[in-house]
């Protein structure tokens, strides 16, 4: 093996969004270290500046002087770019404000489903206008005193859960949320850090009496396991590569990727477990893994690795047998229709792929033909097929700017691992 490389991947996007949102509606001033300075998360900061929150960035440290729960009316439309998390969570904050907010985004975001958060927020008393089929832009007429809700979500979605819990901060009435499978739980962890009372029983969350957020502490954002997965796949496929990825988030609601790595025979080790901002964090050592098994992914594990499926589709090409994905219809409504994007681009490379409504079956193939890859401006599609290019396969991507939404240093890190 060559010398062991070391890398700290992009900071966690989910935690960065939430740290900015909760600090903005808390009492007190918070500082955030290792905030993700990517387009999506910077748009969240811009949104709260428009809503009257005092936010400064100095030497990579974000300082937020919270307004408390009630903000100021923005004088302009709030543009959240490509961020579904930003749109859905900030909608919940705006639902609790006694003024009009208009939220928009880029073409991709304006075609992503918003009914899932419009319905519960409307049940709680907010008035939300949208385009046909519940699409953004959203015009939100909020109110300071929302109604309570007992919401049983039919999908496991951290964004829907977070929207209900955030809106629940603006009512004294009973607020309960339940979901069919456990989705990522960063909102629950961070609300507790800010002093909010909540109880968790299986997959049901209930807000308690204290719903005020209090800050005056430092948040240190770990590295994003979803982003790390893409460069880890590169390392697993690159002969003689060995790398340690520092400070990776290993929250159990996010580590489905590691279980699949284990099932596939990816050579990795968990090192130096610790806690950061209430989250489980570890360093992960990954080595070249030439003898890979196929994956079969379905059911409850999907919410824990939904964003990493594009990277796993690349890993599947190098497995010994076909890999199968089921129950992943949610991929149809991401930044692109990711099932279609993966299948069509793999076929261009000469790979035999069978498409299902909720997934696909990929036949392994290390001999790939030259192809033009259409990313559909989806950062995770662009990052996935860039792995193949970095490994020496002949392909061209329609664009390479989309990773800036979540991982601005992605190509730099890919080049470093490939050197």
CA 189, CA 368: separation in Å to the nearest integer?
A: 44
- Pairing of the two strands 353-356 and 359-362: antiparallel
229, 212: one domain:
no
Report the chain's mean pLDDT, rounded to a whole number. 97
In a domain, 414, yes or no: yes
- Beta strand 198-201 with 279-287 is unpaired
Q: How far apart are CA 156 and CA 182, in angstroms?
A: 6
pLDDT at 165 over 60: yes
Q: Is 307 annotated as a binding residue?
A: yes
Q: What is the pLDDT of residue 84?
A: 97
338 annotated among ligand-binding-site residues: yes
Averaged pLDDT, 213-242: 97
Residue 6 located in a structural domain: no
**Judgement on whether residues 362 and 252 belong to the same structural domain of the protein:** yes
Straight-line distance from the first to the last Cα atom of the chain, in angstroms, rounded to the nearest whole number: 13
Q: What 3-state DSSP class applies to 186? A: helix
User: What are 292-345's pLDDT values in tens digits?
Assistant: 999 999 999 999 999 999 999 999 999 999 999 999 999 999 999 999 999 999
pLDDT band at 24 (very low <50, low <70, confident <90, very high): very high
pLDDT for res 2: 59
| pLDDT per position as a tens digit, 44-88 | 999 999 999 999 999 999 999 999 999 999 999 999 999 999 999
Determine which one of 298, 307, 378, 396 is catalytic: 307
Taking residue 187's Cβ as centre, other Cβ atoms within 10 Å add up to 27
Q: Consult the annotation and say whether 183 binds a ligand.
A: no
Q: For tokens 């692109």, name the residue.
A: 336
Cα 338 from Cα 409, distance rounded (Å):
23
The answer to the question of whether 13 is labelled as a binding residue is yes
23 is in an annotated binding site: no
For residue 403 the two structure tokens come to: 């990773």
Describe the strand order of the beta sheet including 54-58 as a list of residue ranges.
54-58, 61-67, 27-33, 218-220
pLDDT band at 199 (very low <50, low <70, confident <90, very high): very high
Was 157 annotated as part of a binding site? yes
Within-domain flag for 80 = yes
Residue 115 tokens, joined: 């009914």
Same domain, 78 and 153: yes
Tell me whether residue 332 is exposed, middle or buried, using C-beta atoms within 10 angstroms of its C-beta: 0 to 12, 13 to 18, 19 or more: middle
Looking at residues 390-397, what average pLDDT do you find? Answer: 97
Class of residue 195 by CB neighbours under 10 A (exposed 0-12, middle 13-18, buried 19+): middle
Helices (H), 74-224: 84-95, 115-123, 158-168, 186-193
Q: Are 137 and 270 found together in one domain?
A: no
Task: Note down the domain range covering 295.
Answer: 225-418
In the annotation, is 2 catalytic? no
If asked whether residues 104 and 203 sit together in one domain, one would say yes
CA distance 387 to 301: 24
- The residue-averaged pLDDT of 381-397 equals 98
Domain count, the chain: 2
Residue 251 banded pLDDT, cuts 50, 70, 90: very high
pLDDT for 201:
94
User: Is 58 found in the same domain as 27?
Assistant: yes
Is 171 part of a structural domain of the chain?
A: yes
Q: Based on the domain organization, do 100 and 163 belong to the same domain?
A: yes
Q: Is 254 annotated as a binding residue?
A: no
Using 50, 70 and 90 to split pLDDT, how confident is the model at 1?
very low
> Using one digit for the tens of pLDDT, what is the confidence trace for 82-104?
999 999 999 999 999 999 999 99
- Best CA proximity match to 191, nearest among 174, 208, 172: 208
* Average pLDDT over every residue of 132-150: 97
320 is in an annotated binding site: no
Residue 170 tokens read as 């603006």
Residue among 228, 280, 220, 222 at smallest CA distance from 407: 228
158 and 241 assigned to the same domain: no
What whole-number distance in Å separates Cα of residue 241 and Cα of residue 266? 12
Q: Is residue 14 part of an annotated ligand binding site?
A: yes
Same domain for 291 and 397? Answer: yes
């Amino acid at each position: 093996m060559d010398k062991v490389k070391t890398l700290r991947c992009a900071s966690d996007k989910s935690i960065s969004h939430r740290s900015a949102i909760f600090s903005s509606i808390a009492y007190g001033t918070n500082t955030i270290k290792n905030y993700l300075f990517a387009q999506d998360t910077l748009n969240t900061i811009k949104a709260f500046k428009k809503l009257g929150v005092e936010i400064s960035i100095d030497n990579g440290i974000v300082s937020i002087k919270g307004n408390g729960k009630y903000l100021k009316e923005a004088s302009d439309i709030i543009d959240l770019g490509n961020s579904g998390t930003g749109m859905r969570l900030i909608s919940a904050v705006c639902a609790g404000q006694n003024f009009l907010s208009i939220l928009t985004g880029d073409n991709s975001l304006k075609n992503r489903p918003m009914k899932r958060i419009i319905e519960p927020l409307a049940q709680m008393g907010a008035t939300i206008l949208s385009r046909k089929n519940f699409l953004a832009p959203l015009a939100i007429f909020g109110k300071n005193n929302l109604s309570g809700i007992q919401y049983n979500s039919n999908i496991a979605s951290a964004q829907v859960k977070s929207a209900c819990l955030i809106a629940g901060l603006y009512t004294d009435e009973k607020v309960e949320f339940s979901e069919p499978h456990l989705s990522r739980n960063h909102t629950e962890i961070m609300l507790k850090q800010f002093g909010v009372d909540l109880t968790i029983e299986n997959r049901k969350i209930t807000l308690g009496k204290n719903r005020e957020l209090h800050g005056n502490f430092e948040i240190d954002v770990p590295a994003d396991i979803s982003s790390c997965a893409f460069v880890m796949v590169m390392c697993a496929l690159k002969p003689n590569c060995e790398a340690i990825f520092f400070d990776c988030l290993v929250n159990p609601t996010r580590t489905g990727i590691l279980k699949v790595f284990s099932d596939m025979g990816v050579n990795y080790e968990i090192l130096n477990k610790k806690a950061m901002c209430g989250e489980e964090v570890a360093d992960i050592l990954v080595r070249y893994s030439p003898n890979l098994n196929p994956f079969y992914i379905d059911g409850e594990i999907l919410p824990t690795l939904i964003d990493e499926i594009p990277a796993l589709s690349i890993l599947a090409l190098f497995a010994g047998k076909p890999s199968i994905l089921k129950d992943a219809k949610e991929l149809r409504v991401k930044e692109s229709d990711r099932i279609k994007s993966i299948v069509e681009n793999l076929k261009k490379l000469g790979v035999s792929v069978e498409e299902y409504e909720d997934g696909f079956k990929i036949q392994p193939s290390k001999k790939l033909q030259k192809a033009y890859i259409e990313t559909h401006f989806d950062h995770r599609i662009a990052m996935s097929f860039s792995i193949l290019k970095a490994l020496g396969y002949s392909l061209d991507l329609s664009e390479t700017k989309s990773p800036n939404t979540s991982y601005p240093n992605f190509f730099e890190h890919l080049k470093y691992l490939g050197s």
